[in-house]
Amino acid sequence: MTTGSGIFYDGVTSARHEVAVELGGDDVRISAAQGGTLARWRFADIAPLATPQGVLRIGPAHGKADARLEIHDAALAAALLQRTGQYDRTGLTGHRTRIKVVAWSIAAIVTLVGGAIWGVPLLADRLAPHLPIALETRLGNAVDTQIRETLNTSNGSRPFECGTGDSPAAAAGQAAFAQLVANLEGLAGLPLPLQVSVVRNAQVNAITIPGGRIYVFEGLLAKANSVDEVAGVIGHEMGHVAHRDGTKSVLEGASLSLLFGMLLGDFTGGGGVVVAARTVLRSTYSREAEAAADDFGANLVARAGGNPHALGAFLVRIAGKQTSGPHLLLDHPEAAQRAVAIDRIAKPSPHKELLTPAQWSALKTICSG
């Protein structure tokens, strides 16, 4: 029997106990100074712990509590190590600690990445349909301010929105555009009123902003061969409004920064609204959202009496024509695949003119006035 003294911590409290240590045949017995056994560990179950120079610190390898025993007596420490078969204890717990740190670090990274990939999109998807219209409109107004600053390159020489001038051409173009939008909106059954404008920008694009604002770019009108193609694009964007895709997208893109702004009622502070505006300009909707908007737009044009297949033909024609900047096909499914899907879902309808030839001609030149 080898005996000595040590310092014992039970792992439950921070109390420091001076104890008697006895090394038996196959275990170590730790007793209080006043008598009574505090712990009894089998040598096979003991693990050396990281310790300062000249101190042996041990504990149970699989104990529920972080109990430990410190031995400052070199002879007793050597005898105990010989019984346990541990001769080189340096770095053992340090190695295990590093493994734990790395494991917890990886777990934290996975949690953060998982939250960004699945948590925020899920939150945005659940929150957007229940966002009050008034709050969505305020969000849209804040995002719109940023978008206008990005898209408006006229330096004040011409209005950002086309059809706002006093010329007869501007008035005729705006009247034709307003009639087309009104016909489609009257059939769409949207959850909020729309503000649809043609804007001076050469990109082949149309975008939807939270709050029911839609911008049709001048470059898109220039590429369109018929009013049905323009109607299909506007109907597609109305589909995004109906499904509140713009709100989902900006909530997902700006994530926590924008959510905190919503809670505080301030969308202009911080960088969340800037990120939201960039998200809208990138048109980064999922393929499922784009397919649903195609379905909505094609069927809406069919109900209005136009050609529901025009949207698909337009997408195929403009595919690959623009190599930089946001445009209608950015991050969208392949144009040919979308056209096939539109042909499959669009219902035949008695074709009628959505605008007269004169109105269509006026709409094409709405930005010239």
Q: Point out the residues that are catalytic.
A: 237
Of residues 234, 216, 205, the one with CA closest to residue 298 = 234
Report angle CA 12, 15, 18 to the nearest 5 degrees.
120
Q: How far apart are CA 193 and CA 213, in angstroms?
A: 9
- The upper half-sphere exposure of residue 199, i.e. CA atoms within 13 Å in the direction of its Cβ, equals 25
Q: What is the DSSP string of 125-148?
A: HHHGGGS-HHHHHHHHHHHHHHHH
CB-based contact 54:90 (threshold 8 Å): no
What 3-state DSSP class applies to 320? coil
On the 0-12 / 13-18 / 19+ scale of CB atoms within 10 A, 363 is buried
Q: How many helices and strands (H and E) does the chain possess?
A: 13, 10
Which residue is it, tokens 């010239």? Answer: 368
What 3-state DSSP class applies to 180? helix
Q: How far apart are CA 63 and CA 222, in angstroms?
A: 76
Cβ-Cβ contacts under 8 Å for 365 (sequence gap 6 or more): 169, 173
Q: How far apart are CA 187 and CA 175, in angstroms?
A: 19
Q: How far apart are CA 90 and CA 160, in angstroms?
A: 72
Q: How far apart are CA 161 and CA 144, in angstroms?
A: 13
Sheet holding 213-217, edge to edge: 195-199, 213-217, 206-209
